[in-house]
Amino acid sequence: MTTSPAVPAAAAALEDASAYAAAVETATKAAAAYYASGESPLDDDAYDRLVRGIDAYEQAHPDETAPDSPTGKVAGGAVVGDVPHTVPMLSLDNVFSAEQLVSWAASVERRIGRPVEQWSVEPKLDGLAIAARYEDGRLVRLITRGDGSAGEDVSHAIGTIVGLPDRLAEPVTLEVRGEVLMTNEQFEHANTVRSEHGGPPFANPRNGAAGTLRAKDRAYTVEMTFFGYGALPLPASGATLAADMGEWPHSRLMTHVAHLGVHTAETTAVAPRTLATVTEVQSRIEEIGALRPELAFGIDGIVIKADHAADQAAAGSGSRAPRWAIAYKLPAVEKVTTLLDVEWNVGRTGAIAPRAVLRPVEIDGSTVTYATLHNPADITRRDLRIGDQVMVYKAGDIIPRIEAPVAHLRTGDEKPIVFPEVCPQCGSDIDTSEQRWRCVRGRNCRLVASVSYAAGRDQLDIEGLGATRVVQLVDAGLVSDFADLFTLTREQLLALERMGETSTDNLLAAIDGARNQPLSRVFCALGVRGTGRSMSRRIARHFATMDHIRAADAEALQQVEGIGVEKARTVVAELCELAPLIDRLTAAGVNMTEPGAIPPAETAAAAEDGDGGGAPLPAADAGPLDGMTVVVTGAMTGALEKLSRNQMNELIERAGGKSSSSVSKRTSLLVAGEGAGSKREKAEQLGTRTVTPDEFAGLLSGFLDQNA
């Protein structure tokens, strides 16, 4: 993923003094709500555009600048505190593009009169800044940023924040500064607990952290997480840090903070790094932006700092922000819009899924009109209503989701969401015994979709059996599930409209060929809930035969990578339900083994027969890609030209490797075909080995002909 400039839209246009005054009032109120409780009426993108508009107006009309304007002030000038900071706790200025970053870096070097020694690059965490004061290693006080000069005492939250220990590993006296936030898991738990106690759900994790940090008299407690990003010595009262702590590079200082037991971003996928050039900084920004959807916590940008204390001192600070640090803002992935309706769709397995219909909103470079709602229980827990203003989240290629309603914006005109009483597809009863509702007819409710999926290219790959032909077979009473495909006769097909001898023979040949597909594809064709192409391949490689899969209990299934307790139970239940279909497929001569895979029992027996009782043998013969993580990008050529991406992934896994869709430090090999773009660039940055399709085919040698 390439990190695009974060400017989502032009700054708000303020045509006259009246519009300017109204904008200042709106921005000030929004900032006050944002920093006090997190319940701002504006999302971050709307607030940024408004403040940029205010700044543009003031640049054009400097004599009209209002004294309460949010520009040039910490926290927009909307927050005050009563606990003085030992050193001002400033905000950061922003840049929104690579060009602006280069210009800022050049200005820092002009200010200090020489090149910056090195840059520190770290994630900009989406939470609330606090100062944690330690005396002789004991946590004694927590203070919010406030207006930068003084903040609010929130020491009552001590003991509820993961990563901020009550005692440090050494009896030092210092102040650690960082961000308090809720991880995605903490946010979900907090909303569950809050709903159970009759409170409205938090709109997003930052809103949850802001409200929780200041809450003193709640009947419940929820956790938050701290990430340290700075530290400074305090007047000593006992043992102290080294006298030269203030001269340490920022990176060394944060390593020491982590050594003391304080949580930093060092152990995350977006760990801080020190880099020598702005070009390297830009590459790291790209990396962090690509990792954003996978993170367990929210970030809204990347912070770039001059690492050495001497460079920081030479660059100095303004009244609002240091001149030696900047925030590179990432594209907004979270915005507020209106929930217009809820649609209820039935999937090919009979699962009934709600989908939110939204007032269109631009997020992360695309227009979002729909969002996932998971299940009815999720709707109830989030207390969603038609007409709600809702916080919608989208990052990268992830399907947009509604985090929660913005409850404080409700007008009273919102309406309850009506749940279906019968299946929206066929009118049958609904099984509501589990969180995800399902039509009692199961796969028969969407028979055409189920059979079409099974016949698809990445499953049984039956050429000539598209949805139109499946409808014809179902309407003629010839197919009630996809096992019936293998019992079709030439006479039955010739009796159908638009089925001549050639098309009939071709279809029968394609169906006959499907009998020889590997187990992984047959299992995928079953459409077991909670599994897809990759999971089906992992299950088939682990168990080797359908009999072993069917004999496995939930505990045995959890030995497969990516299968947890709940998914294991679902797979076991699904296989019981699908037993008659599997039996009919077996009777029809459909292959039920995975080439090259060894059943777990045979693997264990082989290990017991080995010398000295060594480690168990692998579940399959070691191939040329054994232990390697391989990413394929671009158009394949030569011997690989006709393989679909799914077939490439199958080939990789049969050769002992693991297929992946994104380049990371864990990537062993990138197969880069024609048109390879950002993935090739990232592989070059990480030093990942890259090969052409022809080189990859040569690496597999005879294995390609045997297994492709």
Q: Distance between CA 240 and CA 696 in Å, rounded?
A: 58
DSSP one-letter code for 628: -
Q: How far is CA 288 from CA 227, 253, 647, in A?
A: 16, 22, 30
121 DSSP β-pair partners: 273, 304
* Sign of the Cα pseudo-torsion (208, 211, 215, 220, in order): negative
The helix, strand and coil proportions of the chain, stated in percent and rounded to the nearest 5, come to: 40, 20, 40
Q: Specify whether the CB–CB gap between 180 and 240 falls below 8 A.
A: no
Question: 669-672 and 689-691: which strand pairing?
Answer: parallel
Instruction: Give me the helix-helix angle, 579-587 and 519-526, nearest 10°.
Output: 140
Give SS3 for 372. strand
Residue type, 606: A
- Beta partners for 280? none
Secondary structure of 659-690 in the HEC alphabet? Answer: EECCCCCCCCEEEECECCCHHHHHHHHHCCEE
Rounded to whole angstroms, the Cα distance separating 287 from 272 reads 12
DSSP 482: G
Cβ proximity of 395 and 293 under 8 Å: yes
Stated length of the chain:
708
Active site residues: 124
Dihedral angle sign, alpha carbons of residues 281, 282, 283, 287: positive
Angle formed at CA 13 by CA 12 and CA 17, multiple of 5 degrees: 115
Residues contacting 703, CB < 8 A, separation 6+: 623, 624, 654, 655
130-156 burial, b for 16+ CB within 10 Å, e for fewer? Answer: bbbbbbbbebebbbbbbbbebbbebee
Helix (H, G, I), strand (E, B) or coil at 279: helix
Q: Which amino acid is at 647?
A: Q
Give CA separation, 460 vs 415, 511, 525, 530, 536, in Å.
Answer: 46, 8, 7, 19, 13
Helix, strand, or coil (residue 321): coil
Contact yes or no for 96/136 (Cβ under 8 A): no
Q: What φ, ψ does residue 596 adopt, rounded to 5°?
A: 85, -10
Q: SS in 3 state form for 593-607? A: ECCCECCHHHHHHHH
The DSSP element (H or E) to which 32 belongs, if any, is helix 17-36
Residue 616 vs residues 69, 73, 227, 390, 656: alpha-carbon distances, Å: 69, 63, 41, 52, 16
Beta strand segments in 283-419, E: 299-306, 325-329, 334-346, 352-363, 366-372, 385-386, 389-393, 401-405, 415-416
C-alpha–C-alpha distance, residues 606 and 598, integer Å: 10
- Produce one character per residue of 118-129: b if its CB has 16 or more CB atoms within 10 Å, e if not: bbbbbbbbbbbb
Helix (DSSP H) and strand (DSSP E) numbers for the chain: 24, 25
